[in-house]
Structure 1
């Protein structure tokens, strides 16, 4: 099997841009005036926090206004321990990170249970709480703050000035950039990206979404803590003002304006807001004839304008001016393929549904439904719109558990298991309404399906210690894409494909999980005649391999030419079951579909 990499930028000078940037940073303190170096120091500190918001908000879809409070935790931890107890500043970094992780875990377990607008409101609440804690606790210096924080020493060299501190700050920035990019370019990174597409799809592919959310929440908090620790030793003084809710909102401004889904967007946003703030604080009082925080008004208007014109921020706009090559079809050889699930003996029962009932208040969507699927068999579930077919699918796969009834999968009761655990046991599915991450490539979308076939965690991903496993996962995804006839779209954005091909991408994603039972919800919808023929041929091959298939479909020609058995539903109940030819002659079925027989 082979896997193709991401899109590649062609011009050599484009690939050299990061090295050019590092070289410019290396000489900046030697050439620039003190004020500009100080400004660059603050840009670096703010960029570290904004990069946490890229993970949390831009990629994970979780909005936080409280990151300034975590900056304060890092700053106050080192300020207190170094000035009161004489602890080494480098040791206080470890203590601060540990304390921040504990606080983030505690707050995350509470806050991340909220959804919609309640989540950002929750982050505002604890952001304000921690801010007032810093200002009202006596041993933290109250609103007066803590002074006399010692300088940092690196290999015996004391960092007294901003010029000397510059290198440490930007080394930290580059380290955070590398860790973040590594994390996002991995199995764990795809799990994080899947959060933005909704937990329903991610859980069905085996992603532990609560764990992914708490991980990125904690990582973003640790980035903020690191920024706070650096800030405290740069300033050698802390008070509560820089850790207020206003500053938390400003961090979010930086991430959104720069490009909240892009690592380099965090740097762009931090630089733009910091420089603009400095200029506006000088110009606006002269222009308006009075002092005040008028720059906040400007930033608010700027935010509204950018959200109207470019919701992805300014970084994607800049990328349009960078020449890009077509998708490169470089092949990566993979030594050891992924382990496969033991083949279930053909004819053995895979799925047994007994008296499945699902109620939504007074509405009974499924009523005493029973069916079974065996290995190497295609069972079609048909019925008029609103018959309850997709609801039954959701109950079987654990996406929306049944009200009552029994579901046995491979001899094990699973009706009370979460969908990710059912997926782990060998059931995979597609959705009635396509659930792909439109901005990601077809390859990465399909690789999400193979999530449970890898086991390397977030830390190995951030350090890129899982490259062998990642290559094998991508190779499996590429194989399934080719198997489904979409090899020419490997590197295309999934959202750029027509609806019919997006459905095929979902099937490839489901196959990447190496299932023994495949649940397909209207797989032929939107396909043209020859595409339907190719899909039918693929499903026949899967059946011959011993995979069980349960499909919902409205195209009767497609169903009757493919299914071994057909189950008919009407008003949430089973109307008929049998061979395709018997079902087609059943008077009750004709009544349900055609309104009766003459």
Structure 2
């Protein structure tokens, strides 16, 4: 029988932390409250709750896409339209071709068809849009959002501007969901399913890959994450949430026209996610509720004060949203959690989880990395010129040189971030120049970075667990439905083992951003070790460490060396380097000027002149 321990100091959960059982009880309490609301509220408010539920379903997708994945989209209303128009056409048309006419027999069939069509459209648009970066990405979503909106209002078979009416109600057996209170339960069942599955997804290997997108493509790819796949996955999931919302909306209204699917509605959905808390799944529900209610109340109240001329409700609505964003920049949901003193429970780590398989390490002394005649030009600038060196298994090699010598460029070419202009890089017997970081990481290379690349709001444990990505295989669907727990238990146990290995067990459940810079560098090393590498690239690992911490790091690297791990490091602390490494390669102006044992380098006049300040 597995036993679980909290691996933070004292093993007790944080004060006020929500245990998994408490989370289940809270969810059941929410379900109970939602179940009785139609019986105690007037029909008007039940209708408002229906709109809130549909909007929140779209916003949940945006939490995943924008809040977690960092991909801003203004076009989600168009996907709502795709879901709505698909079911409208299929359930009302009498002249459909035989190959698709069967789908019109039931709205439940049209839901499946709508999700398939939306998924295909999202794959196409995502493959084009997600290649953009910076401000071009949201501009791209605006472009296709507007295009789809005008398409809805132009095509005759979609009813043009008049739309399509006479949609049948959704039925469950003989029960027709043709009134607000009846469809209310279906809407909120869809929403709660979306909330739970999204939370499950984020609490998984795939979820860490998605969250790693905010840490930058270079870091995520170096840990083996297929960032292109992760981006398209969350894009499609967000689109499917929107399509399901459109299906519900169409059968609640029993008619469809283009007006609810325009750009301004896409902006409103984004506002809901941001106001509620863009990185929080329940924030989507809070944001949708606030924006919907605020919008409705202002439309009802302000005309009584200012008359029906003008759009004062829009002006006041915008000002209030700005005020909310100014006072609660992370959104309302985290502010609510702070007021209630609710904290996430530290992740339980099994002390009896089966160990992950380990790769077969190369024989000690075997050449594991060869750099042959590597040159890298950037226009007229030669960053590396005819570089040659090798690294053996069980060896620590230092790459040193003054600032601007080309060390980081060399690192990037070895790890697949950059491609040599000419020359070869051989890793474990395979030519890897021009291959991407993810492929090279799979061969057994892992790295840290000169500028720390952690996810500051995630715990140390979860940051390190990103390094185990290639050692797991469970996909999106099993993660969403909690079918990945055995594998997740093993991945977290491996991350915890590496944290203990580097001496940071006391900080395992702390936010990574709360640690000192030197400790964050150690976290990066633990993350790299979690990938089970045979070659470790360390970019200035001792920077920011105190004397005792450097001693501990040196001892750790010596242990790794004894296990057969090859280590290539860039470092400016000469005292640290000279007492640790086996060999040193010295660079100046992109070229190798010396190579040898530490004592030989210390006596090399050219090195002294170029790097150590010259000789007397």
Instruction: Output the TM-score relative to the length of structure 2.
Output: 0.94
Q: Is 1:579 aligned to 2:588, yes or no?
A: no
The answer as to whether partners of 2:349 and 2:493 remain within 8 angstroms in 1 is: no
Matching residue of 2:56? 47
CA drift at 1:13: 7.3
Separation (CA, whole Å) in 1 of partners of 2:241 and 2:342: 32
Matching residue of 1:140? 158
Structure 2 residue corresponding to 1:382, chosen from 391, 395, 400: 400
Q: Is 1:558 aligned to 2:576, yes or no?
A: yes
Separation (CA, whole Å) in 2 of partners of 1:326 and 1:279: 34
Separation (CA, whole Å) in 2 of partners of 1:245 and 1:331: 45
Separation (CA, whole Å) in 2 of partners of 1:500 and 1:420: 27
Once the two structures are overlaid, the 10-residue window that deviates more, 207-216 or 10-19, is 10-19
Separation (CA, whole Å) in 1 of partners of 2:331 and 2:260: 25
CA drift at 1:354: 1.0
CA drift at 1:17: 2.8
The answer as to whether partners of 2:277 and 2:330 remain within 8 angstroms in 1 is: yes
The answer as to whether partners of 2:4 and 2:348 remain within 8 angstroms in 1 is: no
CA drift at 1:122: 0.3
CA drift at 1:329: 7.9
Structure 2 residue corresponding to 1:209, chosen from 217, 221, 227: 227
Matching residue of 1:547? 565
Separation (CA, whole Å) in 1 of partners of 2:344 and 2:127: 44
Q: Is 1:72 aligned to 2:81, yes or no?
A: yes
Matching residue of 2:199? 181
Separation (CA, whole Å) in 2 of partners of 1:504 and 1:13: 34
The answer as to whether partners of 1:438 and 1:495 remain within 8 angstroms in 2 is: yes
Separation (CA, whole Å) in 2 of partners of 1:293 and 1:583: 76
CA deviations over 1:294-342 (Å, ceiling 9, x no partner)? 3333343344444444331111111111234796585524442111001
**Ranges in structure 2 where 5+ consecutive residues have no aligned partner:** 8-12, 95-103
For residues 476-515 of structure 1, what are the structure 2 equivalents within 5 Å? Answer: 476-515=494-533
Matching residue of 2:269? 251
| Root mean square deviation of aligned Cα | 1.8
Matching residue of 1:525? 543
The answer as to whether partners of 1:78 and 1:93 remain within 8 angstroms in 2 is: yes
CA deviations over 1:471-511 (Å, ceiling 9, x no partner)? 00000000000000000001000000000000000000000
Q: Is 1:336 aligned to 2:354, yes or no?
A: yes
For residues 439-454 of structure 1, what are the structure 2 equivalents within 5 Å? Answer: 439-454=457-472
Separation (CA, whole Å) in 2 of partners of 1:285 and 1:441: 49
Matching residue of 1:31? 40
CA pair 271-107 structure 1, distance change in 2 beyond 3 A: same
Separation (CA, whole Å) in 1 of partners of 2:233 and 2:279: 17
Separation (CA, whole Å) in 2 of partners of 1:524 and 1:356: 27
Structure 2 residue corresponding to 1:431, chosen from 449, 456, 459: 449
The answer as to whether partners of 1:10 and 1:324 remain within 8 angstroms in 2 is: no
CA deviations over 1:160-203 (Å, ceiling 9, x no partner)? 20001110001101100111011000000000000011111000
The answer as to whether partners of 1:334 and 1:471 remain within 8 angstroms in 2 is: no
Separation (CA, whole Å) in 1 of partners of 2:123 and 2:344: 43
Q: Is 1:199 aligned to 2:217, yes or no?
A: yes
The answer as to whether partners of 1:10 and 1:325 remain within 8 angstroms in 2 is: no
Once the two structures are overlaid, the 10-residue window that deviates more, 3-12 or 68-77, is 3-12
Structure 1 residue corresponding to 2:92, chosen from 68, 83, 88: 83
Separation (CA, whole Å) in 2 of partners of 1:11 and 1:420: 34
Structure 2 residue corresponding to 1:361, chosen from 370, 379, 385: 379
Q: Helix, strand or coil: the match of 1:321? A: helix
Q: Helix, strand or coil: the match of 2:592? A: strand
Q: Helix, strand or coil: the match of 2:339? A: coil
Structure 2 residue corresponding to 1:18, chosen from 27, 34, 45: 27
CA deviations over 1:535-586 (Å, ceiling 9, x no partner)? 0000000000000000000000100000000011111111110000000000
Once the two structures are overlaid, the 10-residue window that deviates more, 224-233 or 325-334, is 325-334
Q: Helix, strand or coil: the match of 1:30? A: helix
Q: Is 1:219 aligned to 2:228, yes or no?
A: no
Structure 1 residue corresponding to 2:72, chosen from 59, 63, 66: 63
Q: Is 1:295 aligned to 2:313, yes or no?
A: yes
CA drift at 1:19: 2.0
CA pair 595-14 structure 1, distance change in 2 beyond 3 A: closer
CA pair 405-459 structure 1, distance change in 2 beyond 3 A: same
**Ranges in structure 1 where 5+ consecutive residues have no aligned partner:** none
For residues 339-350 of structure 1, what are the structure 2 equivalents within 5 Å? Answer: 339-350=357-368
Separation (CA, whole Å) in 2 of partners of 1:291 and 1:258: 31
Once the two structures are overlaid, the 10-residue window that deviates more, 322-331 or 369-378, is 322-331
CA drift at 1:146: 0.4
Residue correspondences, number: 598
Separation (CA, whole Å) in 2 of partners of 1:3 and 1:359: 53
CA deviations over 1:425-444 (Å, ceiling 9, x no partner)? 00000000000000000000
Q: Is 1:394 aligned to 2:403, yes or no?
A: no
Matching residue of 1:286? 304
Instruction: Output the TM-score relative to the length of structure 1.
Output: 0.97
CA drift at 1:14: 7.4
